[in-house]
Chain A
Amino acid sequence: MNRRFLGALSKIYPGERLLTRDVELLPYESDALTAFQTKPGAVVLPENADEVIATVRLCHEHSVPFVARGSGTSLSGGSLPIADGLTIALNRLNRIKRIDPQQRIAVVEPGVVNLHISQAAQPFGLYYAPDPSSQSICTIGGNIAFNSGGAHCLKYGMTSNHVLGMKVALADGSLTEFGGESLDGCGIGPDLVGLFVGSEGLFGIALEMTLRLLPIPELYRTVLAAFDYLGRAGDAVSRVVASGLLPGAIEIMDRLAIRAAETVGANYPDAEALLIVELEGEALQVEAEFTQLRELIEDSGAFEIRTAQNEDERARIWKGRKSAFSAVGRLSPDYIVQDGVVPRSRLGEALSQINALKRSYGLEVANVFHAGDGNLHPLILFDGREAGALRKAEALAGEILAMCVELGGSITGEHGVGVEKRDYMPAMFSEAELDIMLALRQAIDPREIANRGKMFPSGEAPALKMQGMHPLERQGLISRE
């Protein structure tokens, strides 16, 4: 790394917050997608917005590419460092500046952990709705960069739908604010919040965000239904959707995923497919909806139906689902996960095609998906110690993404493009569409320094390796939803 640049950095940061030695950089070499690893030139640990701004300006001045990162739970390699670039770790900007229960908002810094916002809002009867399954560790800045989802997106939307305002340092160091405290968000004029959220760190760094909080539902009603045929679970979803009910979550797991969940003691029924449906809201309304839901599911041929009678039982139903991915790690030394989307009514077709593909590749695939919004999560199992195994798994994953686009869907529902899916962008977007996105990126970041190498198809390929799960994943602290 350029000495003049490092010298200038050392004027902003004391030695313990400017990491340059190999041993210090090691933990920052990858994010939760450990297949990709790159050593950054340096890592800085800012403690306030002014330091971030000064750092971004310095990077612009010296044309040094930078990656802003929080906890690095991205599953698309979105916070993978840039070789010889700067990693700006934002975890110390972790202040919840204000919870305003009357206006139903929270004002926070980017390093605040997702779950901590709900915990701070809980005494006021409020919560922050987006719930990626890494919510106990992932940060709100990362959620904003990748427009993170979770199991409850169908009804309340993704991260973007819950951000009202932001203060931002663009990649060239200019500062701007948009939106504000109104629940009407940007309200008048173009929706700049909507543009910034999900831009994968390519526009700059969000320094402060105002978030919408929701009232904690009075009652949850969660049902688990077991089927002897995956198609029946899919039909049950169609019936629920056609009935006019709007559940907070609709999830399906297939046999292999159920088997994996058993390794964490989920105690699920022995079935070909499991369906989880959750209703939430005012007690009287939810009870009435639940009667209707139960009838629908009974009529759809489930051989066993379990209903959570209390919060403990609800947590038990979700436990197997939420830990299904890390549990798959116990069935197979390695796996990769995709998060393509298909129209809900084509889920059955998509699953048949995945089955055919896995047979032709000779690989095992476990399926867990957000059935309510057609968001698939095929987990492709392989052994990274076998020569060529990762490449083969990657090729299968690529075919699955191509199929999602073919069926009218998307290559990513909630994980983002990052490094991992950038080469699939041309499958989803035309040349004109990619050109306009690139032109936009260049207008906002003329030197293309912010999170360089992500989202756009590109020649510079980072090292691709695979050696098991992320250490945090192994401990069950994070999981790939």
Chain B
Amino acid sequence: MIANEKDIQAFVKAHARLHVRGRGSKPALHQVDAPALDLSGLRGIVDYQPQEFTLTVRAGTALREVMAALAEQGQYLPFDPLLADSASIGGAVASNLSGSRRHRYGGARDFVLGASVVDGTGQAYTVGGKVVKNAAGFDLAKFLVGSLGRYAIMTELTFKVFPDVPQFRSLRFRYEALAAALEASYALNGSRFELDALDIVPGAVGAELLARLGGFRETLPARVEGFSQFVSKATAPQQVEVIQDESSLWDCLAGLNGPCLAKVTLAPRQLLALDAALDGANRRYTLAGNSGFVACEDAGWLDDVLARHGLRGLLLRGDVPCPLLGLPLENVLAARVKATLDPLGKLV
């Protein structure tokens, strides 16, 4: 069982190839023919300073443990890591998977301040800092967000955290077509409303726009009223509904059943064309149409659809040798970082 940095260094030195595994909540990332470096034993909160808005935690710590500790102090991880019940914090960062609440303040990259790492040569060091503001040196901590453990192994992570809001209200707007729902999300972009989340959910007929407002209990009813009136006037939805029991609405993977599940990064302008090609698959778009989750039967088919639309995807569930879908990721800058941090190509 890997319990500390020294164990990791020894593992790296002992193996010609390896791949990093947290708690295994995204099985498609682990179909690699190389020994797994299992970090699920590397657990625990190292330092939490609520008054500093900073948290340092070991990479294999269960997300739910981290989130519970923050919630006790009325704080949260604003990048809203996905799979809170089964993922590790390191895995959430390495795969850059965020849920709907990422809409308000940003993704993992916007909240990772620093990391302790072991690189492909077995060397241990820290990157970034431990305070909420730091401009010294190259920001390798940000680089590692989304890097799937292929450049260096994150052993400890420091985050900026925020105070959470006391209460939420959610609204559902129905439109006769996906294009109308997308137009409605455009209309909200330059508006005065600060939404906690804004998702677009295509249905068998038409589509829904789901919006979430967070804030003080006493101001929410009036804000919800103002928001509802604005959307109704600006975008003419077929139906408006204020959802009372709203928290379950924001598990953006709920109902996305099927053997394959993938995240897609897109620009809203690409949404309609992509969605037409995804006909039949279960899907939901988060971040006002800038990110999407697709469940389908065949990962090969999805790979092909994404490549044709000039997009990239990451498979979380499904049976393919490489979880990266669509356009290839090759990049000259990334290749030079790889050659520096993992010259022997051990980390796969």
Question: Interface of A with B (CB < 8 Å)?
Answer: 101-104, 124-126, 146-147, 149, 153-158, 160-161, 168, 170, 174, 176, 178, 180-199, 202-203, 215-218, 238, 241-242, 244-246, 281-285, 287-289, 341-345, 370, 373-375, 408-417, 421, 425, 428-430, 432-433, 436-437, 439-441, 443-444, 455
Complex contacts, B162 vs chain A, CB 8 Å: 246
A283 → chain B, closest Cβ, in Å? 8
Most buried by A among B119, B132, B148, B163: B132
Asked, given contacts A191-B143, A288-B216, whether A374 binds B131 with beta carbons under 8 Å apart, the answer is: yes
A347 → chain B, closest Cβ, in Å? 11
Asked, given contacts A195-B140, A443-B336, whether A154 binds B132 with beta carbons under 8 Å apart, the answer is: yes
A-B contact pairs, 21 of them (CB 8 A): A103-B267, A149-B135, A153-B133, A184-B266, A186-B146, A187-B312, A188-B96, A188-B324, A188-B329, A189-B147, A190-B334, A193-B142, A242-B50, A287-B219, A289-B216, A370-B133, A410-B135, A413-B134, A433-B125, A433-B127, A440-B138
Complex contacts, A199 vs chain B, CB 8 Å: 138-139
Asked if B169 CB lies within 8 Å of chain A CBs, one says: no
Most buried by A among B135, B332, B333, B336: B135
Most buried by B among A182, A241, A444: A182
Complex contacts, B189 vs chain A, CB 8 Å: 101-104, 126, 215
Q: Are A413 and B135 in contact (CB under 8 A)?
A: yes
Q: Are A246 and B163 in contact (CB under 8 A)?
A: yes
B11 → chain A, closest Cβ, in Å? 19
Which of B124, B137, B166, B340 is in CB contact (< 8 Å) with A425? B137
For the A-B complex, the count of residue pairs with Cβ-Cβ distances under 8 Å equals: 273
Asked, given contacts A103-B268, A189-B146, whether A345 binds B135 with beta carbons under 8 Å apart, the answer is: no
Which of A189, A246, A283 is in CB contact (< 8 Å) with B312? A189
How far, in whole Å, are A191 and B192 apart by their CA atoms in the complex?
30
B185 → chain A, closest Cβ, in Å? 9
Given A284-B226, A373-B131, 8 additional A-B pairs, CB 8 A: A154-B132, A188-B314, A191-B144, A215-B194, A345-B49, A410-B134, A414-B133, A439-B340
Complex contacts, B143 vs chain A, CB 8 Å: 190-192, 194-195
Complex contacts, A289 vs chain B, CB 8 Å: 216
Q: Are A284 and B133 in contact (CB under 8 A)?
A: no
B150 (CB) vs chain A CBs: closest residue:
A190
Asked, given contacts A161-B106, A184-B291, A195-B140, whether A344 binds B135 with beta carbons under 8 Å apart, the answer is: no
Question: Interface of B with A (CB < 8 Å)?
Answer: 49-54, 74, 96, 105-107, 109-110, 119, 123-127, 129-148, 150-151, 162-164, 166, 186, 189-194, 215-216, 218-219, 222-223, 226, 263, 265-269, 287-288, 290-291, 312-314, 324, 329, 331-334, 336-337, 339-341
Complex contacts, B109 vs chain A, CB 8 Å: 160-161, 185-186, 191, 194
Which of A190, A193, A215 is in CB contact (< 8 Å) with B151? A190
B341 (CB) vs chain A CBs: closest residue:
A436
How far, in whole Å, are A184 and B267 apart by their CA atoms in the complex?
8
Complex contacts, A411 vs chain B, CB 8 Å: 136
For the residues of B in contact with A, the DSSP-based class is: mixed
Complex contacts, A439 vs chain B, CB 8 Å: 340
Q: Are B314 and A437 in contact (CB under 8 A)?
A: no
How far, in whole Å, are A181 and B287 apart by their CA atoms in the complex?
13
Asked, given contacts A103-B268, A244-B163, whether A170 binds B125 with beta carbons under 8 Å apart, the answer is: no
Asked, given contacts A157-B110, A187-B312, A199-B138, whether A182 binds B266 with beta carbons under 8 Å apart, the answer is: yes
How far, in whole Å, are A421 and B136 apart by their CA atoms in the complex?
9
Q: Which 8 pairs from chain A and chain B are nearest by CB?
A: A194-B142, A187-B265, A125-B190, A218-B192, A181-B267, A102-B186, A190-B147, A183-B290
Q: Are A433 and B126 in contact (CB under 8 A)?
A: yes
Q: Are B340 and A443 in contact (CB under 8 A)?
A: yes
Complex contacts, A429 vs chain B, CB 8 Å: 136-137
Complex contacts, B49 vs chain A, CB 8 Å: 343, 345
B207 → chain A, closest Cβ, in Å? 17
Which of A158, A185, A282 is in CB contact (< 8 Å) with B135? A158
Q: Are B334 and A192 in contact (CB under 8 A)?
A: yes
Which of B144, B163, B333 is in CB contact (< 8 Å) with A168? B333
Asked, given contacts A170-B332, A178-B331, A215-B191, whether A408 binds B130 with beta carbons under 8 Å apart, the answer is: yes
Complex contacts, B223 vs chain A, CB 8 Å: 282, 284-285
Q: Are A455 and B137 in contact (CB under 8 A)?
A: yes
How far, in whole Å, are A101 and B146 apart by their CA atoms in the complex?
27
Most buried by B among A191, A409, A428: A191
B214 (CB) vs chain A CBs: closest residue:
A285
B92 → chain A, closest Cβ, in Å? 14
Complex contacts, A241 vs chain B, CB 8 Å: 51, 53
A372 → chain B, closest Cβ, in Å? 8
B98 (CB) vs chain A CBs: closest residue:
A184
A97 → chain B, closest Cβ, in Å? 15
Asked, given contacts A284-B226, A343-B49, whether A414 binds B135 with beta carbons under 8 Å apart, the answer is: yes
Complex contacts, B139 vs chain A, CB 8 Å: 147, 160, 194-195, 197-199
Complex contacts, B142 vs chain A, CB 8 Å: 160, 191, 193-195, 197
A155 → chain B, closest Cβ, in Å? 8
Most buried by A among B123, B132, B133: B133
Complex contacts, A202 vs chain B, CB 8 Å: 138
B315 → chain A, closest Cβ, in Å? 10
Most buried by A among B54, B126, B266, B333: B333
How far, in whole Å, are A412 and B136 apart by their CA atoms in the complex?
6
Which of B74, B129, B193 is in CB contact (< 8 Å) with A244? B74
Complex contacts, B54 vs chain A, CB 8 Å: 343
Q: Are B192 and A215 in contact (CB under 8 A)?
A: yes
Q: Are A182 and B290 in contact (CB under 8 A)?
A: yes
Q: Are A196 and B333 in contact (CB under 8 A)?
A: yes
Complex contacts, A244 vs chain B, CB 8 Å: 74, 163-164, 166
Q: Are A288 and B133 in contact (CB under 8 A)?
A: no
Q: Are A433 and B313 in contact (CB under 8 A)?
A: no
A339 (CB) vs chain B CBs: closest residue:
B135
Most buried by B among A189, A190, A216, A289: A190
How far, in whole Å, are A238 and B50 apart by their CA atoms in the complex?
11
Complex contacts, A193 vs chain B, CB 8 Å: 142
Complex contacts, A176 vs chain B, CB 8 Å: 331-333
Q: Are A195 and B216 in contact (CB under 8 A)?
A: no
A323 → chain B, closest Cβ, in Å? 22
How far, in whole Å, are A181 and B268 apart by their CA atoms in the complex?
9
How far, in whole Å, are A422 and B132 apart by their CA atoms in the complex?
21
Asked, given contacts A161-B106, A190-B146, A374-B131, whether A103 binds B269 with beta carbons under 8 Å apart, the answer is: yes
B58 → chain A, closest Cβ, in Å? 19
Complex contacts, B96 vs chain A, CB 8 Å: 186-188, 191
Which of B119, B218, B312 is in CB contact (< 8 Å) with A188? B312
Complex contacts, B331 vs chain A, CB 8 Å: 176, 178, 189, 192
Which of B74, B131, B287 is in CB contact (< 8 Å) with A184? B287
How far, in whole Å, are A430 and B124 apart by their CA atoms in the complex?
11
Q: Are B132 and A195 in contact (CB under 8 A)?
A: no
Q: Are B127 and A178 in contact (CB under 8 A)?
A: no
Which of B133, B144, B163, B339 is in CB contact (< 8 Å) with A375? B133
Complex contacts, A157 vs chain B, CB 8 Å: 106, 110
B314 (CB) vs chain A CBs: closest residue:
A188
Most buried by A among B126, B146, B147, B314: B146
Asked, given contacts A147-B139, A187-B312, whether A374 binds B133 with beta carbons under 8 Å apart, the answer is: yes
A33 → chain B, closest Cβ, in Å? 15
How far, in whole Å, are A232 and B210 apart by their CA atoms in the complex?
44
